[in-house]
């Protein structure tokens, strides 16, 4: 067993919570000064710890031997998205089959927590999924493709295919996220889902999509709006998330300056998710 750790200013606590939410092996604690937080992620292998260090800096160390297999991960109940999707973090091979029997007629997605990537229970991801279910119902009589910017575990792209998207394309700047997302696509046996490593701030789209989700930090989102607008079809549906409540006003203004309008805004805890479209 290995542990990656890093000290960070307390002002970044929300960002760290968002990044590692849903990972049962992540611990974030404030130091006595209340100005610094310690972020730790426990991993089974040195390679996993090194991958996190490569992305975020910090340090890694090997822990003294312990029967870690005897330490149970917390059991999280399945996440229910509307009446359409069930998401489980269970690792058992037959988990999807059991849930399919318990919840007939629903799409079952299995996303175990891997390293820094959660299972879809964070407020930003779960709200994106609920809005995606709504969009899919509205488009049930038409053909549509799906673009997922900031895919993370890949759960939203996987859900999009199950909900009726002809093709789904997930992107993330983090190579480890892309690796995990591809693993989850294979685990859930979905086809026509592409995952690629891409920095949205350097990306030049070569086509447009009818449905786009962008789940990323608001500072990145604001800079990415011109690119997001350029990859939307004229009547496209857009879902954005990863926005703290206090950042919503400036984020919505940045979107409006690029020709977007947001007609549904959902506040859940400290986070904001919104559904929008191009004006006119």
Q: Residue 57's domain is classified under what CATH number?
A: 3.30.70
Q: Is the pTM of this model over 0.85?
A: no
Q: Are residues 30 and 131 in the same domain?
A: no
Q: Are residues 53 and 180 in the same domain?
A: no
Question: How many angstroms separate the CA atoms of 154 and 170, rounded?
Answer: 7
**Closest-CA residue to 78 (of 101, 105, 104, 111):** 111
Q: Is 78 inside any structural domain?
A: no
Q: Are residues 141 and 260 in the same domain?
A: yes
- pLDDT of residue 69 exceeding 60: no
Q: At 181, which helix (H) or strand (E)?
A: helix 175-187
The 3-state DSSP class for residue 114 equals strand
Domain with 155 in it: 114-278
- Report the number of distinct structural domains present in the chain: 2
Binning pLDDT at 50, 70 and 90, where does residue 269 land?
Answer: confident
Question: How many angstroms separate the CA atoms of 141 and 138, rounded?
Answer: 8
Q: Are residues 125 and 222 in the same domain?
A: yes
β-pairing, 36-43 with 260-268?
unpaired
Mean pLDDT of the chain: 89
Q: Is 256 inside any structural domain?
A: yes
Q: What is the CATH number of the domain that holds 204?
A: 3.40.50.150
Q: Are residues 230 and 129 in the same domain?
A: yes
The whole-number average pLDDT for the span 226-249 is: 96
Q: Is 182 inside any structural domain?
A: yes
Question: How many angstroms separate the CA atoms of 244 and 16, rounded?
Answer: 13
Q: Is 76 inside any structural domain?
A: no
């Amino acid at each position: 067993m290995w542990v990656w750790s890093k000290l960070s200013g307390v002002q970044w606590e929300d960002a760290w919570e968002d990044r590692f939410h849903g990972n049962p092996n992540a611990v974030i604690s404030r130091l006595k000064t209340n100005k610094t937080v310690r972020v730790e992620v426990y991993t089974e292998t040195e390679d996993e710890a090194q991958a996190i260090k490569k992305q975020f800096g910090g340090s890694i160390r090997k822990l003294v031997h312990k029967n870690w297999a005897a330490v149970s991960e917390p059991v999280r109940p399945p996440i229910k998205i509307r009446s359409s999707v069930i998401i489980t973090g269970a690792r058992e091979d037959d988990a999807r089959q059991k849930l399919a029997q318990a919840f007939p007629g629903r799409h079952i997605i299995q996303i175990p927590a891997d390293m820094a990537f959660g299972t879809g229970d964070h407020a930003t991801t779960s709200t994106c999924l609920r809005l995606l279910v709504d969009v899919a119902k509205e488009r049930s009589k038409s053909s549509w493709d799906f673009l997922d910017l900031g895919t993370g575990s890949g759960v939203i792209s996987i859900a999009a295919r199950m909900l009726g998207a002809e093709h789904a394309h997930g992107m993330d700047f983090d190579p480890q996220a892309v690796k995990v997302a591809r693993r989850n696509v294979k685990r859930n046996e979905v086809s026509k889902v592409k995952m690629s490593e891409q920095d949205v701030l350097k990306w030049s789209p070569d086509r447009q999509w009818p449905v786009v989700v962008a789940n990323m930090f608001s500072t990145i989102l604001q800079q990415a709006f011109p690119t997001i607008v350029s990859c939307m079809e004229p009547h496209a549906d857009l879902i954005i998330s990863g926005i703290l409540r206090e950042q919503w006003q400036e984020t919505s203004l940045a979107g409006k300056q690029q020709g977007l309008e947001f007609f549904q805004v959902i506040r859940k805890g400290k986070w904001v998710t919104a559904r929008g479209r191009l004006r006119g």
